[in-house]
């Protein structure tokens, strides 16, 4: 799975096939040429991080998990 588990292609990042260096080069060139898109991807990436991986959401997920485990005893 890899990066596709963390990144939504075109929304908060750019995904290219691992075995296609030309696709990677095209994607990088496109990003270098489009500051607006870079800024939008960066903002969306930050928001996705905050929603999924920042301490608050992670702790909430752990609490919910531990509560479910306690209920299943």
Query: What confidence score (pLDDT) does residue 1 get?
Result: 73
CA distances, 73 to each of 60, 61, 62, 65 (Å)? 21, 19, 17, 13
Q: How many CB atoms lie within 10 A of CB 38?
A: 14
Residue 41 confidence class, pLDDT cut points 50, 70, 90: very high
Rounded to two decimals, the pTM is 0.75
Residue 61 confidence class, pLDDT cut points 50, 70, 90: very high
Per-residue pLDDT at 66 exceeds 90 = yes
pLDDT tens readout for residues 1-34: 789 999 999 999 999 999 999 999 999 999 999 9
């Amino acid at each position: 799975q890899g990066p596709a588990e963390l990144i939504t292609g075109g929304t908060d990042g750019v995904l290219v096939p691992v075995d296609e260096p030309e696709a990677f080069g095209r994607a990088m060139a496109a990003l270098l040429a489009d500051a607006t898109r870079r800024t939008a991807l960066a903002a969306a990436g930050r928001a996705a991080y905050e929603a999924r991986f920042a301490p608050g959401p992670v702790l909430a997920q752990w609490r919910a998990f531990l509560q479910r485990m306690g209920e299943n005893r």
